[in-house]
Structures are given as C-alpha cells and as structure tokens.
A and B are shown apart, each in its own frame.
Chain A
Amino acid sequence: MSATLEVRDLTVRYGAVVAVDRLSLDAGRGALAALVGPSGCGKTSVLRAIAGFETPAGGTIRVEGERLDDLPPEKRRVGMLFQQGALFPHLTVLENVAFGLSRGESGRAHEALRLVGLERLEKRRPHELSGGEQQRVALARALAPRPRLVLLDEPFAALDAPLRARLREEVRDILNTTGTTAVLVTHDQEEALSIADQVSVMREGRILQSGTPREVYEHPVSEEVARLVGDANLIEAVVAAGRVDTPLGVLRTDAGDGACTLRVPTESLRVPADGGGAPGLIAGSRFYGHDVVDEVRLADGPAIRVRLARSCGEVGAPVRIALQPDRYLIFFKDGRVATATA
C-alpha cells in the first residue's frame, strides 16, 4: 500500500506557541488515518495545514508525491468535512454538492448525492435537513470533485450518540467504496478505534504513538498513551526482585526494580467466587446497558473501575476484587515498559 499522504516534520506556530511540533504522518492509499487526542493537542492544526488554511512554520506535506506546501487551498484537491457541515445556507442541497464542480458536471453532483442516499432531498435548503442529513450532504459535497484526500474534522461531534455511531459506519463504508484516502481528527477514541485503519495518538503537538487500533489499544508505548487511549486503571506500584506489589495483589515480572504504573483494563478485573482478592467498598456504579462499570474504593489503596456484566452489589456494600490471570503492562518512571503476570 503506497502512501497517499506524507507529512514530514510539520510545525505550526501561533506566535510563541508551538501547536504542532515536527510531526510526521502517513496515510496509505484508500486508508482512513485517525488523529486522536485531547482538545488543544494540535490535531486540528495538522488538518488545517494539510488543507492549506494554516501556514506551517516548517516541514513538508505531500499528496501522491506532489508537494502541497505552496499551493493555495483551492489547488490542493483536498476535500474537507467540518464539524457543523458548513453547508452554504443560501444554496440548495444540489447547488451545495455541485459547488466544487465545473458547469458541465451536474451528473456528478447527482451521483455524489446518490452515494450518500439523499438524492430525494436535492431541492431542500440546509436548514430543512436534520444534523445527520446535513453531514451526509457535506460528505457528498466534499467527494463530488473526486479529491485525492478527504479531511474529516470532528465530523460526528455535533450529533447525538446513536446517530453518531450509525453515521460513522456509513461514512466509513462510503469512503471504502470510493477508495478515498481520509484523515479523521477526533477527540473520541471510540470513534477513532472503531473506524480507522491506523490511529495516531497526539498530545501537545506531537504524535505519541501510531499503529492499528488494536496495537494502540492493547500495547500503548507509554503511560501517557495509556492514559489517553482505552479505559484502564493506572495503579501506582513498586517492582522489587521480580515482585510487583499492588493493592490488588502481587504480580511477577522479569523487569528490574523501580517505581512504576500498572495498567489494568477495566474489563480485566473480576469478583472472585472463592472470597480471594482485595477488599473494598462499592463507591459508585454506572450502568451502560450491555455492561456496568462499578467504582470500588480499595481498603488500602485507590479507587478502581471494574467493568462487569452485572453490578457486583449496592453502593456502600463491601466487595472483593481480583485480577484475571493475564499479562499486564507496567510503565516505569524512567520510561521502560515491561509486562507482569498475575
């Protein structure tokens, strides 16, 4: 898979503030690359620099081998999908979709609308559409001129949860059908993990880790990434002579001694039937339908979150919590990463 987008050492500054710091990013042909990170991490600046709305202080941007840096936005053939759609309110749906096409290409506008399943709405105005329809029209508009790359800037953030989940699958499918390369920017890790081929975790202008969703989720390279991705408990611990002492019990490791953080995914904890494990009190419970996350305050330690099929008891009730037998990541304060076995 050859890279369609190649970003090298991109730097974006606002006055003295460095928003993007020598960032490199690739997206293969037809792939969906996601940039995920907290708000203000610089991910939107990366997108705006690729689109041509921000002048980078350094670095290069190539699409299909062509350097984009000196081209104005309209010459880049890079489509963009914004959070609120940004449909032109004074134009109809069809006029919006045809906006990027030349005069003789009206067939293409209908085709793009058909692609998102909205050809019946072509005469409507944007304010007469629902949020989801607006985003689909915006996607049709972005895809109509056959861009080499589509940039998606938090395109689902303004939608309510069920629609968000459905629409992102739809967008994923449309991008697949058309073979369009795309970069998605989101603060929602679930969104990034569920539809992207490749996820880059960003913080303070840098990419901390890039990889497939599974790699990033299961093998974060640092405590920082572990905090940003996945829903894990990060528990302070100490390694001494191959033992990892934690409030949840003792684990074994080959790593050398030192203070560390143990990563325990919420789904890796259980309530043992035999009365083993660490004692604690149920401090709270959050019901998600398909499962439940209980917060348990351990008798001698921090509060931890436990994902279970059913709640382990009433709030305030005593409970015992144990680790599933498995391998867990430990992050040392000096940057080493190792595994420990429960």
Chain B
Amino acid sequence: MSEVPLAPPVASTLRAPRNVRVSPFTRISAVAIAAFVSLPLLYLIARAAAAGPEAWRLHLLTWRTVELLGSTLSIAAAVLGVSIAVSLPYAWLVTRTDLPLRRFWAVMGALPLAFPSYIAAFTTVSILGPRGALATAIGRPLPELAYGWSGALIALGLFSYPYLYLLLVAAMKGLDPLLEEAARSLGKTRAAVFTRVVLPQLRPPLAAGALMIVLYTMSDFGAVSIVRYDTFTTAIYDAYRGLFDRTVAALLATVLALLTLIVLAGEWMAVRDFVPGRGRPARPPAAAPLGRWKVPAIFFVSLITFATVAVPLTAIGGWCLRAIRAGTGRFTFAEMGNSLAVSIAAALCCVVLSLPVALWAIRGGERLALIVERLTFTGYALPGIVVALALVVAATRLARPLYQTATLLVAAYVIRFLPEAIAATRSSLASLSPLFEEAARSLGRGRFDVLRRITIPLIRPGLLAGGGLVFLTAMKELPATLILRPTGFETLATRIWSESAVAAWSAAAIPSLLLLLASAVPLWALVIRPVIGKDA
C-alpha cells in the first residue's frame, strides 16, 4: 500500500507578502525616515555636480587630489596590514589553543575598542611625541615617530584591530572541528590545515573586518588631525573652515563618498560566491596544545595588551594626576552634560525611528521594505565628515533655523548611527513570533495598541541594546560634532581633540577618562561580552 501523497508545503517555505500586518502609517514613516537619512547626501552630490566641469577641473584634477588619494589609501592599507597581523594570531590563540588565561586575554584583545581614535592619537603623541612622556623620561627628544604617517599607523592600527579581531573570534568559535580533523586524517600538517581549510572558511569575517577597518581609517578625522597627517577628511575640514565657498569641501566629500562606495563594492565582490558551512558545529573545537610555543604566545598577547591597554590607561591616569596636582585640569561639567544630552537624545530618536523600518522589513518583508532598510544605511557607511558637511550644506539652504543648533547635531547622529538601532530592533523582532501580535489583534486591539502593549514590551532588550550602542558611538563621535555644534558648545570629544591638538595633555586627560568611564558599561555589555561569551 502506497504512502499518503502529501502536497508540497506551501505556506511554510514561501515567504508570503503579509500585507495586512504592516500599516500604511508604518510604511510611510519608514519611507520618510529613509529619505531623511539619504537626502542630505543626495543634496551634497547634487551640489557637487552643479558646480560644473570648470570647478571639477580646478579643484579636483590637481596634484593635491592625487596626494590625498595616496595618503588616504596608503594609511588604510597599512592599518589593515597591522590589524590582520595582530588579530589573526591573537584570535586564534584565544579561541583554539591551550593558552593560559584565555578568557582574560580574549577580553584584553577587545578593550582597545574603548579608545576613540582621537584618544588613541592623544596617547600616542603624548608618550612618543617630541615633548612627550618618553622624551622627558630619557632626557632627549625622540625622532618624529608620533607624527605623520607613522603616528597615524600607531594610533589607528593598534586601536582599530579589535573590529577585525571580534569578528574573527566569533567565526573561529563557530568553525566545525570535524573539517580540520578530516584534513588531518587525509595526511595534512597542522600548518597546511590552517592555510587550506581554516583560512578559506574565515573569508567572510576577514572581508567584513577588513571593510570595517578600511572604512574606519578612511573616515577617521580625529587621529589624523592630531598626528598632523593629511587625508581626505582633514582636507575637507580645512576647506570647510578656511573657505567661505563650500564647493571645494563638497567636491572633496563627494570623492571620499565615491571611494567609500568602491570599498563597499569590493567587500561585496569578495564574499559573493562564499558558500557557508552547514549550521553549528556538533561540538566545540579542541584546544590545540601550544607546547614550546607557549612562552612566545604569552609574550605576544602580553605585548599587544601592554601597548594597547596598559600604556594608554597609565598615560591618561598619569596626565590626570598631574592635572589635578597642578590645578590645570580645565574641565567643566557642561562638557559631560552636553555629551550625555546629545547622545541620549540621539539614542532615543534612533530607537523610535528604528521601529517602523524594522517592523516593515521583518513583518512585511516585501522588496520595497528591504530597499528602504538598505537606504537607511547610507549615512552609516559614509564618513562622519561627509554626513556633517552634507547636513551643513542642506541646512543652510533648506532649513536655515536649524543651522547652529543642537537639533542639527542630533540629526547628524541619527543619520550616522540609526542602522545600529535598526539592526538590534530587527533581530529582536525577527525572533519574536508574530503570533503574539496576531493573538492581540484577534482580541480586538488595534495596531497601535498592539505595538504599545505587546510588541514593544517583548522586544525591550533589543531596543535597549540598540539605544545603548547608539549612545556609545554618539559619545565618541568627533568630526560631525566639530562641524555641526553650535558656537561655544563643547562636548567631551571636542574638548579632548582641541586640547590634544595644542599638546595640552593634562587638559585632555580628564575628559578622556570620563569618556572612557561613560562608554565602559555599554561597551562591555553590548559589544565585548556577547562575542567573547562566558567561556572563551
């Protein structure tokens, strides 16, 4: 007797367009948010295009542009090289070997993330600079190591590698040891297994991490301006500050935006054909015995931790003490208050605005929803200085009363960091069964009521995480803050930057310490702990 023939499952595998779930209000809001986030950039490009061929030739077809391209790309490549050289062995040691105190070293490897680039640059020049701590200690001036290309490499390379490192740690923990065991049993040495089996599987995190580091370096303004290394961002800032006509700044910003898009396209090409392995590994990978390599391995992780955690913290602590003793710590609570106020405002706005975009993308899921969601990432991918300039140009023309207000600054943070909140809201919505919302609807409650009484309470952890992440990044933001802050409005970031730029180390130290303390909790709870986990 034959089996009962079953019809192919339809509803469960096909993602149906569930139009009834998402209200027109949600969709219109999401479209408006995407427009708000991407329009300043479109306006900037329009402005650059409208400048005409004569302006392009005059300001862009110059040796200066070639120099800027060279300096921006060379520092990005060098920082990427340093990051890979540090994070690949570091991540492997803390995930796949019997390194003593693995969890401690795993956390230490991620800690440099706490230092915004301008604090990294501040500690670099305050220690290695010609009048820095080391020069004072040995009693003679040092070579110009802390400034220019080498200074930028130290400040950016040693403090941005955690972006790659965290992705590698997460990926290496998820590697299936069976594949490596299979390769070993086929007669391959451990080194051959690493290059031929492990590395190919790490292509997506390597590509994603490389993307983050290259974008981070290309868009950095704080560090390169403090170590006096000219890149596109400093050139844009100088053009904006120095010239009444903003066309030059707009043209340079457009070139930087294009460069960013090329890098994004490159990353996409690199992982396009990647076929992921199947699911989670059956068991955690066995720890490889380090044997006689144990001592060199401990030396390596200690050296990195010493240079990227111990030295900067000691330096900041030392400068703080000196400032307090000498009574030169020019610090007012206004800066802390300003930083907190604009960052909290940005976090709240981002959480609220993330709801319609994420709701539509997850509960609707049609093509337009996904396009709208992508559009909201525009400002996130672009350098802060480009977004800030776009907002200045747009606001002076279209929304004059907003110019030179904290509102415009918060708007810039929202444009830049909204995707952090969207990603968090989106993933918590995706893991919330729509049945709860449907049950509430069938009990006679309208959409808004359901959102307020069911959806929001149930995804609250995700909303808090997204808001916390926006708060963290907004506290650290520098270039947009410098350009958009109202006259006389100082934040911790702007104060650290301006004091570092004039080598007033002890004046920069106290705001640096406060900034580190304020970002410690969200950084630990939202970034480091989720990746490193309870057992490294």
Q: Flag the segment in B256-264, B300-308, B343-351, B440-448 that touches A.
A: B440-448
Contact pattern, B 1-30, Cβ under 8 Å of A = 1, otherwise 0:
110111111111010111111000000000
CA distance A38 to B447 in the complex (A): 33
Task: Indicate if the CB atoms of A44 and B444 lie closer than 8 Å.
Answer: no
Check if B4 sits within 8 Å of A14, measured CB to CB.
Answer: no
A217 at interface, CB cutoff 8 A: no
Residues of chain B contacted by A74 (CB below 8 angstroms) = 441-446
A287-335 interface with B by 8 A CB criterion: 302-305
Segment at the B interface, from A59-67, A84-92, A127-135, A176-184: A84-92
Is B7 a contact of A73 with CB atoms below 8 Å? no
B435 interface contact, C-beta 8 A: yes
User: Given A141-B443, A304-B1, A86–B10 Cβ distance below 8 Å?
Assistant: no
> Please, which residue of chain B has its CB at the minimum distance from the CB of A41?
B7
Apart from A14-B11, A77-B444, A86-B438, list 11 A-B contacts with CB within 8 A: A19-B11, A38-B4, A39-B12, A41-B7, A53-B21, A53-B441, A73-B438, A74-B442, A79-B442, A151-B442, A235-B1
Which of A1-9, A160-168, A226-234, A269-277 lies at the binding interface? A226-234
Distance in Å: Cβ of B392 to nearest Cβ of chain A: 44
Mark each residue of chain B from 154 to 174: 1 if its CB lies under 8 Å from any CB of chain A, else 0.
000000000000000000000
Shortest distance between the CB of B452 and any CB in chain A (Å)? 12
Binary interface encoding of chain B residues 114-143 relative to chain A, with 1 for a CB under 8 A from any of its CBs, else 0: 000000000000000000000000000000
Min CB gap B188→A, angstroms: 45
Docked Cα-Cα span, A302 to B438, in Å, equals 48
Q: Whose C-beta in chain A lies nearest to the C-beta of B454?
A: A88
Given contact pairs A15-B17, A40-B6, A40-B11, A234 touches B441 in the complex (Cβ within 8 A): no
CB pair A40 B7 closer than 8 Å:
yes
Chain B: minimal CB distance from A155 (Å): 12
- 8 nearest A-B residue pairs (beta carbon): A100-B443, A40-B9, A73-B441, A86-B435, A14-B16, A80-B442, A86-B439, A38-B6
Is B395 located at the chain interface by the 8 A CB criterion?
Answer: no
**B residues lining the A interface (CB < 8 Å):** 1-2, 4-12, 14, 16-21, 433, 435-436, 438-447, 453-454, 457-458
**Closest CB-CB distance, A44 to chain B, in whole Å?**
6
Whether the Cβ atoms of A54 and B18 lie closer than 8 Å is: yes
| B440 pairs with A99, CB closer than 8 A | yes
Q: Are B7 and A90 in contact (CB under 8 A)?
A: no
The B-contacting residues of A in range 189-215, CB under 8 angstroms, are 203-204
Q: Which one of B7, B17, B444, B458 has the highest number of Cβ atoms from chain A below 10 Å of its Cβ?
A: B444
Closest CB-CB distance, A266 to chain B, in whole Å? Answer: 10
Q: Which of B6, B10, B436, B446 contacts A72 (CB 8 A)?
A: B446
Cβ of A228 and Cβ of B10 under 8 Å apart? no
Are A100 and B438 in contact, with the CB atoms below 8 A?
A: no
User: B14 contacts A15, CB within 8 Å?
Assistant: yes
Min CB distance, B165 to chain A, in Å? Answer: 36
Q: Contact at B6–A39, with CB atoms within 8 Å?
A: yes
Report B432 CB to chain A, min CB distance, Å. 10
Q: Are A39 and B438 in contact (CB under 8 A)?
A: no
Q: CB < 8 Å: which of B1, B10, B16, B458 contacts A40?
A: B10
CB contacts (< 8 Å) of A86 on chain B: these are 433, 435-436, 438-439
Roughly how many angstroms separate A250 CA and B166 CA in the complex, as a whole number?
76
Q: What distance in Å separates the Cβ of B444 from its nearest Cβ neighbour in chain A? A: 5
Number of A-B residue pairs having CB atoms within 8 Å of each other in the complex: 115
Contact between chains at B7 and A51 (CB < 8 Å): no
In whole angstroms, how far apart are the Cα atoms of A79 and B439 in the complex?
Answer: 8
CA–CA, A304 and B443, complex, Å:
49
A142 proximity list for chain B (CB < 8 A): 442-443
Inter-chain contacts of B2 with A (CB < 8 A): 234
Which chain B residues lie closer than 8 Å to A80 at the CB level? Answer: 438-439, 442
Cross-chain contact of B441 among A72, A89, A304 (Cβ < 8 A): A72
| Interface contact B443-A145, CB-CB below 8 Å | yes
The complex places the Cα of A72 from the Cα of B5 at a distance, in Å, of 36
Instruction: Give the residues in chain A near B9, CB-CB below 8 Å.
Output: 39-40
Nearest B residue to A102 via CB reads B444
Whole-angstrom distance between the Cβ of B397 and the nearest chain A Cβ: 42
- Listed in ascending order, the chain A residues whose CB lies under 8 Å from chain B are 14-15, 17, 19, 38-42, 44-45, 51-55, 72-80, 82, 84, 86, 88-90, 99-100, 138, 141-142, 145, 151, 203-204, 227-228, 233-235, 302-305
Some 18 contacts from A to B, beta carbons below 8 A apart, are A42-B10, A54-B16, A54-B18, A76-B442, A79-B442, A82-B439, A84-B435, A86-B436, A88-B436, A90-B457, A99-B453, A142-B442, A227-B4, A227-B5, A228-B4, A233-B1, A235-B1, A304-B1
In the assembled complex, how far is the CB of residue A7 from the closest CB belonging to chain B, in whole angstroms?
A: 17
Q: A227 — which chain B residues lie within 8 A by C-beta?
A: 4-5
Q: A53-B21, A100-B445, A305-B1 are in contact. Are A82 and B435 (CB under 8 A)?
A: yes
Whether the Cβ atoms of A302 and B454 lie closer than 8 Å is no
CA distance A145 to B433 in the complex (A): 23
Q: How distant is the Cα of A52 from the Cα of B16 in the complex, in angstroms?
A: 15
Report the bound CA distance from A151 to B440 in whole Å.
Answer: 14
Q: Give the distance in Å from the alpha carbon of A74 to the alpha carbon of B21 in the complex.
A: 12
A41→B12 CA distance, assembly (Å): 11
Min Cβ gap B233→A in Å is 46
A228 CB contacts on chain B under 8 angstroms = 4
Of the listed residues A19, A74, A80, A90, the one surrounded by the most CB atoms of chain B closer than 10 A to its CB is: A74
Contact present for A203 and B441 (CB under 8 Å): no
Are B8 and A40 in contact, CB atoms less than 8 angstroms apart? yes
Q: Give min CB distance, A267 to chain B, whole Å.
A: 15
Which residue of the partner chain B has the closest CB to A52?
B20
A276 CB to nearest chain B CB (Å): 23
Chain B nearest CB, measured from A278 CB (Å): 15
Q: Which residues of B contact A39 (CB under 8 A)?
A: 6, 9, 12
Provide the residues of chain A in CB contact with B444, threshold 8 Å. Answer: 74-75, 77, 100, 145
Cα separation A318 to B1 with both chains bound (whole Å): 19
**Nearest-Cβ distance from residue A222 to partner chain B, whole angstroms:** 13
Docked Cα-Cα span, A169 to B8, in Å, equals 31
B451 to chain A, nearest CB (A): 13
Residues from chain A with a CB closer than 8 A to the CB of B6 are: 38-40
Residues of B within 8 A of A78 (CB): 442
Output the least CB separation between B5 and chain A (Å): 7
Report which of A45, A151, A303 forms a contact with B1, defined as CB distance below 8 A: A303
A14 to B447, CA, bound (A): 23
Q: Identify the closest chain A residue to B434 (Cβ).
A: A53
- The verdict on A44 contacting B11 (CB below 8 Å), with A78-B442, A86-B435, A86-B438 known, is yes
Q: Give the chain A neighbours of B10 by CB distance below 8 A.
A: 14, 17, 19, 40, 42, 45
**Residues from chain A with Cβ under 8 Å of B445 in the complex:** 74, 99-100
Pairwise interchain contact B1-A53, C-beta atoms closer than 8 A: no
A17→B2 CA distance, assembly (Å) = 27
| Candidates B11, B435, B440; contact of A45 at CB < 8 Å | B11
- A264's nearest neighbour on chain B, judged by CB, is B1
CB distance from A234 to the nearest CB of B (A): 6
Nearest to B439 among chain A residues (CB) is A86
With A90-B458, A100-B445 already in contact, the answer to whether A234 and B1 are too (CB < 8 A) is yes
Q: Give complex CA distance A141, B443 in Å.
A: 8
Contacts of A151 in B (CB 8 A): 442
Query: Which A-chain residue is minimally distant from B6 (CB atoms)?
Result: A38
Q: In the assembled complex, which residues on chain B have CB atoms less than 8 Å from the CB atom of A19?
A: 10-11
Q: How far is the CA of A78 from the CA of B16 in the complex (A)?
A: 23
Q: In the assembly, what is the distance between CA of A141 and CA of B21, in Å?
A: 21
B14 touches A40 (CB 8 A): no
Q: Contact between B441 and A302 (Cβ–Cβ < 8 Å)?
A: no
Which of B1, B17, B446 gathers most chain A CB within 10 Å? B1
| Distance of A99 from chain B, by nearest CB (Å) | 5
Instruction: Name the CB-closest residue of A to B16.
Output: A14
